[in-house]
Chain A
Amino acid sequence: MEGCVAPVTDDVFVEGTRHAPRVAETSEGAQEMAPRPETDDAELRREVGAVLRMAEGPVVNANDIDIERRDDETMIINMGPQHPSTHGVLRLMLELDGETVLRTKPVIGYLHTGMEKTAEELTYVQGATNVTRMDYLSPLTNELVFSMATEALLDVEVPPRAVWIRMLMSELQRVSSHLMWMATNGMDLGSTSMMIYGFREREMVLTFFEKTTGLRMNHNYIRPGGVAADLPDGWEDDVEVICETVLARSFEYDELLTGQPIFRQRTEGIGNLSAEEALALSATGPILRSTGVPWDLRRTMPYLAYDELDFDIIVGTYGDNFDRYSIRLNEIRESIKMIRQIAARMPPGDYRIQDRKVTPPPRARIDESMEALIHHFKIFTEGFKVPEGEVYVAIESPRGELGCYLVSDGSSKPYRMHIRGPSFVNLQTVPVLLRGGLIADAVAIISSVDPVMGEVDR
C-alpha cells in the first residue's frame, strides 16, 4: 500500500541542519518528523505516556493482602481437570482474594487405573510391563526400581554390563524427561519456541530408545535379571551424537530463557519453598535440591554403579521457580557428563544373568535343548518364584525418590507392590508454593513441580 511507506519530501529536509524538519506525506496529511535526539520533551512525554506498560507485580502487592482471612470476600474457583496447563488431569480448588491465591487443594484420582492391584495379578516377568506405564515420561526408571526390588528379594546380582546399560538408559531417560519438562514449562510461560526445541531434542533420545528397546515409550526393557537386549551396534556413535547435540543446545536454551528478562521476572522469587517445608512435606528430587539440600540418591545412597561416576549434585538457594528451572537444565548437562563416562567405560559381558530360572534362554537354544525349552515355557507361563519377604528399594527418578515396596509370599506373583511416586508426594507442595502468590503464576508453579499424573494416580 502506498500510504504505509510515506514518501519523504527531500527538498524540505537538509542534511546537517539541526532543526530541519522532516515532513512525511501520510494519509493523515503531512507529518513532521525529526531525528530521535531532537524530539522535544512534550512530544516524548506524549509518546511514552501513550503506551500503557506496567509490570504486573506493583499492580497487586501480595504483601498488602491478608492471606489468613476467612471472611466471605474470598472466592473459590475450580481449575481443571481438563485445564491444558495442569499437565494431565490435575484438578485444583483455589481460594482467591482478588488475584491472590490463599488456599489450594489438589484433587487427584482422575487417572487412577489400579496399577498396584493389577501388579498382584501379574507375574514378576510381566510386572515390568505394568509399572512402565506409571511415570510415562521416564518409563525406564519405573522398570528399574521394580526390577531392583525383585532382584533384592531373589538375592541375585546382575552382571556388570547390565548394571552399566541400566545406568546409561537411566541417564538418557533423565535427559529426555528434563527436556520434556523444559518444553512444557516453556509453553506454560509463553515460550512456544522452547516447546518445539524441547520436543525436538527429546525425539533424538526416544529414537535411540526405539533402536535399543523397540519402543519409544513403555519399553519393558529393564527386566528382573538384567535388560531385555544388548545395546545395538554403533550405539556409542548414537549416544555421542545425542550428547553433543543436546549439550550444545542446552547453551542455546540459556540464551533463549535463562538470560531473558521476562522469563526471569516470571520465575525468580515465584513459588518459594524453604528447606524445612520441603523436608516436612517429604518433597524430594529437584524440589528438595532447589531449597539447598544436597540430597540425590545417586550420590548419597548410591545404587547401580553411580559411586564410580564423577558428577555433581546441583542445588539451588532460594527454592523458587528459577532454581528449579536451573537445576533441571544443569542436570541435563550433568547427565550428559555421566553418559560420556558410561559410554567410555561400558564393560563387556552378559547383559542379563545366566540363571535359567530367572531369565529365559536365548532363542537359538530352544531349538536344540529340551531343557532350554522347558525353562522358556516355565518362565513365560508360570514365571519364577520369589522367596518370601519384603523390601523397599528407592532410586533417584527425574522427579525425586522413586520407591518400590514389594512383598512376596513365595509365589511367582507379587503379594503386594506399592510404588512411592515422587510426583504423588511432591504434589503436596503445590498449596504451599501457591499460597500468597498471584493466580497468574499458578500455572508456572504447577509446571515447576513437574507432576506426571500417570504416576500420581497410578
Chain B
Amino acid sequence: MIALDSVTKRYNGRVVLDDVSITLGGEGVTALIGPNGAGKSTLFSLVGRLVRPDSGTVTIDGQDVRTAASGDLAKTLAVLRQDNHIAARLTVADLVEFGRFPHSKGRLTAADREQIDRAIAYLDLEAFRERFLDELSGGQRQRAFIAMVLAQDTKYVLLDEPLNNLDVRHMGEIMKLVRRMADELGKVVVVVLHDINFAATYSDRIVAMRDGRVIADAPVAEIMRPEVLAEVYETPVDVREIDGRPVALYYA
C-alpha cells in the first residue's frame, strides 16, 4: 500500500498539496485525474521521494519514504515522470538495463539479463534494441521508458502522463499495456491521465484532484457523472453512454 497521511506541500509559500490523505494500491489500475496544477505530479514526486512533504507522512508498505533506504524503495516502487530528456546517447537496451540497477547495482547477472530481455519483449521493442533513443518515434521512446520501469520489477508502478504527445493509436497501445501489466503481471499501477475517457476505459478506480486536494475517489462509474466531472474541471462536461460505456464529452 502507498499511503499518504495528511500530507501538505508548499512551494514558496503556495500550497500545492493541502492535507491529502489517501491510500493507493488495493486494485489494479488507478487513474489520477484533475486539471493542471491540481498537485498530481507533486503527489508523485512525494511518493517517489524527489521532494519532501512539509508535514504528514508518506509510507510504502509501511515504510516511511523519509527514513527507508532509497535502494530498497527502488525495488518496490518505480516512477516514470513526464519529461525524460537524457543528454547522453543511449540505446534502448542501455536504458532498459538501467531498470536493473536497484537489484544489480550495475553488475548484471544472468537473471538480470533475462528480466531485461523479457521487458523488451513485453513492450515489443526487440527490433529497436540497439537503436538510439533519439532515433525513435515518441511512442517507441515512451515504450522504451516503460520497459525500463518494467525491468525494475517493482510491485508499484507510477506513470505520470504516459500519453503525453502521443497519437490516438499509441495512446491506446500504452493504455492496453498498462492494463496488461496490472492483469498479467499483478502490478499496482497508478497513472496520471488527462483524457478522462482513457481513464474510464482502462482503470478500476479514479482519483480526482483539484487545488491540491482529493475531491473524489471512487470506482469509474461513480466518477463518470456530469456533476462530478464538472466540479473537477470547473467546466461543463456531458457524459453519455455509448455501447454500455460512459463517455465524457467536453468538446463543447
Physical interaction between A and B: no
- Chain A residues proximal to chain B, CB less than 8 Å: none
